[in-house]
Structure 1
């Protein structure tokens, strides 16, 4: 864990957000946006060097935590580090994900399972680990980063698409189960985004049919869902795709 000294009682730490996949791209943008909104930020990822740079750029009210989202033990350690540093956890952003493409005939059990472990098991483990803290928080909120791959079927995305469909279901079930506890659970469903998850060739191909989103545009949607303006919204799915799902073909 890296970051400044404990500042549990600073004004910006009333809300504390743990963001997975925060080292770069969309996750780093979410970290910047929430930090600018006054959140204390716990940036979590397996990419240590990039993660440290992201946190250093934020300045105070931010720490970095090593986290493999498929490990229950590492989730427990991340929550513990968050509480030790900031005194609480109020907000969880399950943003970490992997994009894995293969035709069904060429898919491997290992490739398929890895997508599910990161994209669906990881958010489940995060919600479960964070639940004791979220129960005690005012305005507790969870946002799961899903995908338009869970709205439309894309060929050669059996592992990725099915794992994101499952994450949609997990979001709905968690929203229904946790609503009586005052914990809101929503999903953001991005279309193609200008991040390292998409190689330059893929970005160029997709841009031919419509502009790709910027990471900041996805971060703005996440920031809304965890804000007071969305205090009566739970179980919702906010699609941010520039109309991709409306196009046929």
Structure 2
């Protein structure tokens, strides 16, 4: 799909972070499809920012594995990559496990209630087959623990690697297998409420490892499909 038509999506007063997030979200949501060429002029017109924040955003997205650049030739959305997905899953699961361990000693009733609310929204989104809303609610659920951990390093690592997985999760949350995450979330909340740090950390890791079948499906796909 081409870069969306329209100008000035991002206010001129906003910083390069907004350009980065807008392009990243368009890739994760599938608006910008794997293999699609990205033209600086199109992105500048779409976002309503100068060329500099666009180029800086593309450089960050390349580091995150969402964009591929061949200097002087082209910039394109990265195809879904098996190795990158496996690496991202391992790192993301470990970071969320660490976040639980560091958050749990100081977790408040309000934060537990926020997790329950996010899981209810997550379940409702799955019932409506709304993958975007499911991903947003899932982000909110796990984000409570990441924020409560007060660990900036965990947050920064997740900011880099989670988008790679979110591209796959759009597929998972459109399938029946995604429904199991609701019960897994409930278990995480219960273990956190009971003060069981080891159990909550293990349940969180298991929850993020449920993407493994989708990664393996990607690995088993014909080379033409995986790289197109």
Same-fold call, TM cutoff 0.5: no
Structure number, greater radius of gyration: 2
Between Structure 1 and Structure 2, which shows a larger proportion of helix residues? 2
Larger RCO, structure (CA 8 Å, separation 6 or more) = 2
Between Structure 1 and Structure 2, which shows a larger proportion of strand residues? 1
